[in-house]
Structure 1
Amino acid sequence: MSQEKQLYTVSVYTENNIGLLNRISAIFQRRHINIESINSSVSEIEGVSRFTILVKITEEQMKKIIGQIEKQVEVIKAFYHTDDETIYQESCLFKVKSDLLFNERQIQNIIKDSNARIVTVNKEFFVLEKSGRKSEIELLHRELSIFGILQFTRSGRISVTKEPMEISKMLEAFQQ
């Protein structure tokens, strides 16, 4: 088992209960582990939520944390995966002054080259949406920063595994 820190994507399937996010984040906090990103959403299973948490730790730490997470009553199952085992993306929105869109040819090229999408345009500002790897979003942020960004927000990682996750079969058996 490697003692080297690496990025792990943790998928936690849960019942949707108040306070669970605090308890899960406390598991990391007690071990002085920083959560790089966290996302919560519905999952592929009706009535089941999914937390997607990104952390940089050793595999030994990861296994212990998975055990602690699964002790939470509302947690159905927790998994962890390396970047090689997942397909992942982040999403972001940039709000930029509208006059730049019309007066700066370079902005139009940046938008085209980055495969960003214009979501809305009005007299004061325009909003760009970009989905992709963290490095792609950071590059676009650097390029737009030169012109001035009015607002910026980025999602946590979202991911799916390359191999099937057996959570649906487990739940079917659990519900019978």
Structure 2
Amino acid sequence: MEKKTYTVSIYTENNIGLLNRISAIFQRRHINVESLSASESEIDDVFRWTLVVQVTESQIKKIIGQIERQIEVIKAYYHTDEETIFTESALFKIKSDLLFEERKIQNIIKDSHARIVTVNKQFFVLEKSGMRSEIELLYRELKPFGIMQFVRSGRIAVTKSEMPISQLLKELSKEDEYAFAKA
């Protein structure tokens, strides 16, 4: 089987130590996590992790099964790039004098659709959101001028199709209320 890029969405409770246990699942299989982001989800008190890995489909199915065995994990999904809409974001810190003295930098900024976040006497900061390839191109174009600092986020993604997680959580909530009422 051929390796593909998969976006893994994990819906969890917000508990200490879960990241360590989930990363161990990938480590045991010698699988590199290419990007990771975590945030609140569309559901109150439920957090969503988005990971990107390159594996075979049989590997990702096993990994999802292992992830879902973690007590704090509500549900995990995997999707191909074709099934998702995704982006990344990056910040570039560059010496301020270049912004005013180098016409080429101004053109690079304009052509890349980057946004200037802040400017002061020592530096300016650019923000670029988009595909990884667009961010890498901007990095290559700015590198000769001297990048003081660079940081890129992990992938954030939504699926093109509806995710059944909201309905699943409603059903689980009803089951919890029923069990509480019986006790």
Taking the TM superposition and a 5 Å limit, the aligned residue runs for 1:10-25 are 10-25=8-23
Paired position in structure 2 for 1:124: 122
CA distance in 1, matches of 2:110, 2:164: 39
CA drift at 1:19: 0.4
CA distance in 2, matches of 1:58, 1:111: 38
CA distance in 1, matches of 2:59, 2:102: 49
CA distance in 2, matches of 1:84, 1:44: 22
Q: What is the TM-score with the length of structure 2 in the denominator?
A: 0.95
Taking the TM superposition and a 5 Å limit, the aligned residue runs for 1:2-17 are 3-17=1-15
Paired position in structure 1 for 2:151: 153
Taking the TM superposition and a 5 Å limit, the aligned residue runs for 1:34-113 are 34-113=32-111
Secondary structure of 1:164's partner? coil
C-alpha RMSD over aligned residues: 0.4
Paired position in structure 2 for 1:142: 140
Secondary structure of 1:163's partner? coil
Ranges in structure 1 where 5+ consecutive residues have no aligned partner: none
> Could you tell me which amino acid in structure 1 is paired with residue 173 of structure 2?
Q
Q: What is the TM-score with the length of structure 1 in the denominator?
A: 0.98
Paired position in structure 1 for 2:168: 170
> Could you tell me which amino acid in structure 2 is paired with residue 61 of structure 1?
Q
Ranges in structure 2 where 5+ consecutive residues have no aligned partner: 175-183
What is the CA deviation profile of residues 102-142 of structure 1, one whole-angstrom value per residue up to 9, with x for unaligned ones?
00001001001101000000000000000000000000000
CA drift at 1:58: 0.2
> Could you tell me which amino acid in structure 1 is paired with residue 139 of structure 2?
H
> Could you tell me which amino acid in structure 2 is paired with residue 40 of structure 1?
A
Structure 1 residue ranges, 4+ long, deviating more than 6 angstroms after superposition: none
CA distance in 2, matches of 1:6, 1:146: 33
CA drift at 1:17: 0.3
CA distance in 2, matches of 1:160, 1:96: 32
Higher helix share: 2
Secondary structure of 1:4's partner? coil
CA distance in 1, matches of 2:129, 2:20: 28
